[in-house]
Amino acid sequence: MMKTKLKLLFIVLVGAVGLVSAQATEECITTMSIFSEHAKVKNYDAAYEPFMKLRKDCPTTSYALYQYGERILHHKIEKATGAEQKAFLDDLKKLYEEKKTHFASKAKEGDDIADVALTMYENKIGTAQEQYEMFNKAWETDSETFKNPKGLYVFFNLAVALQEAGKIELQDVFDLYDGIQGQITTIQNEYAKNLEVILEKNEAGTALTAKEKQIEKYAESNLSNYSKVSSGVNGMLGKLADCDRLIPFYEADYEAKKNDVAWVRGAAGRLVSKECTDSELFVTLVEQLNTLEPSAKTSFYLGRLAEQRGEDAKALEYYEESAERQTEPQEKAKVYYRLGENFRGKGNYSRARSYYNKAVAAQPSMGIVYLRIASMYVASANNCGNTRFEKLAVYWLAADTAAKAGRIDPSLADTANKTAASYRANAPTREMIFSEGNAGQRITFSCWIGGSVTVPSL
């Protein structure tokens, strides 16, 4: 009976945190209960002794041992200095190895090694080179689970500092930039997909469940965090990768590396990303890449060249070809966005929107698309609706669309909110709604815009 009570207490204490082993002994359960009681109230010093005993004698009792254990060792590292601090850091590394041994399905090596690297950085353990190497180990071992936003930012910051000190190559920084931004975009897309479902319910006026409100809050928080990291990483790269520096950098190596497909592809991509496409080097790189490896990317670059030459029909042909051949969603989104921009510039708003929608379908976190669509709605307001009220009602739709951009991509929040506010200021006033007597009614647009809006209630 006592064993049963202890096991029940143990399950209550740690069941919400981690897996519980059915084979746990009575002694392990007792020790785990003591350990958990201290750890849950953050009394990490008191939890340390039972924690060490559990690691030695009962390593498979519960996954909570490792979740709380990380917090305990972080606490010890923060409070210690010198050799003792280094010893606790080594023990944190050991704990992650033990977790991988006993709970392999729960272990995330990239995340764990990155946590060690970030702990080194935050506690000033080791040199910048050693901290960078630990981050790099996490990246090379398991980049898929290396998702800590602060860790990604610090990793790139260290890389830039080491490059400026002449300790790593500029190309290594470029490669890391591409990898980190790709990782961030992938993560943002997942959160944006989750948020899109919530936004659709909001637009339909459907009440959110408590779980959906949690999903909304979590998605918006993470989209904001990763947006800040992406902006910070872009800012750091800006110091190293403007056109004045990039072009001579690649020109110097071109003859030696012009038959290296990966190098030519990377160089052309970098010039595109930094808008250095009006250079002779870009033309040379694209032509060479098309010779070495005709692909979706080369079609896109050829489209850029044709567009710069004013060959619009040829540019469209290349862009369409690129979109069809692309297999990477993020790259496909770039092509569709470019097509949307092209048709928006020509005033073909319906076709532009179709490409913008394809872009955001491929990359759900591409919030800029909604600002572009909203601007086209406003430009068409006078051509939609039979009455002045209906024409002005377009501004409500434009405002809602613009606001969506800021929720999907928090880096655009300030611009999106100000844009939405300016559109709402041009929508029908309360007096107009009262005069029309149509509060709460639905207005449908018959022009290319389509769709409808609900007139606000008074």
State whether 152 and 95 are in the same domain. Answer: no
**CA dihedral over 39, 42, 47, 52, signed as positive or negative:** positive
**Neighbour-count burial for 236-275, b at 16+ CB within 10 Å, e otherwise:** bbeebbebeebbebbeeeeeeebeeeebbbbbbbbbbbbe
Q: Is the pLDDT of residue 10 over 80?
A: no
Instruction: Classify residue 49: in a domain, yes or no.
Output: yes
- Do 4 and 90 lie in a common domain? yes
Same domain, 96 and 149: no
The answer to whether position 313 is within a domain reads no
212 assigned to some structural domain: yes
Residue 17: predicted pLDDT = 45
Question: pLDDT (tens digit, 9 = 90+) per residue, 117-133?
Answer: 999 999 999 999 999 99
Among the candidates 107, 135, 165, a domain finishes at 107
Residue 6 is predicted with a pLDDT of 45
In a domain, 132, yes or no: no
Residues 80 and 1 in one domain: yes
Same domain, 372 and 447: yes
Which of residues 203 and 413 earns the better pLDDT score?
413
Domain count, the chain: 3
Please, which residues have CB within 8 angstroms of residue 376's CB and are 6 or more apart in sequence? Answer: 344, 349, 352, 353
Question: Which structural domain range is residue 167 located in?
Answer: 145-240
Q: pLDDT category, 25, cuts 50, 70, 90?
A: confident
Residues 94 and 196 placed together within one structural domain of the fold: no
Out of 240, 261, 282, a domain closes at: 240
With beta carbons less than 8 A apart as the criterion, state whether 316 and 339 touch.
Answer: yes
Q: 2 with 103, same domain?
A: yes
Residue 23 lies in a domain: yes
Question: Among 49, 81, 107, which residue terminates a domain?
Answer: 107
Residue 361 has pLDDT above 70, yes or no: yes
Residue 218 in any domain: the answer is: yes
Query: 90 and 159: one domain?
Result: no
Quick: pLDDT tens for 223-263. Answer: 999 999 999 999 998 878 889 889 999 999 999 999 999 99
Residue 112 lies in a domain: no
What angle is formed at CA 229 by the lines to CA 227 and CA 232, rounded to 5 degrees?
110
User: Among residues 208, 202, 184, 186, which one has the least CA distance to residue 407?
Assistant: 202
The structure's pTM equals: 0.78
66-99 residue pLDDT tens = 999 999 999 999 999 999 999 999 999 999 999 9
385 in a structural domain: yes
Cα 157 to chain centroid, rounded: 18
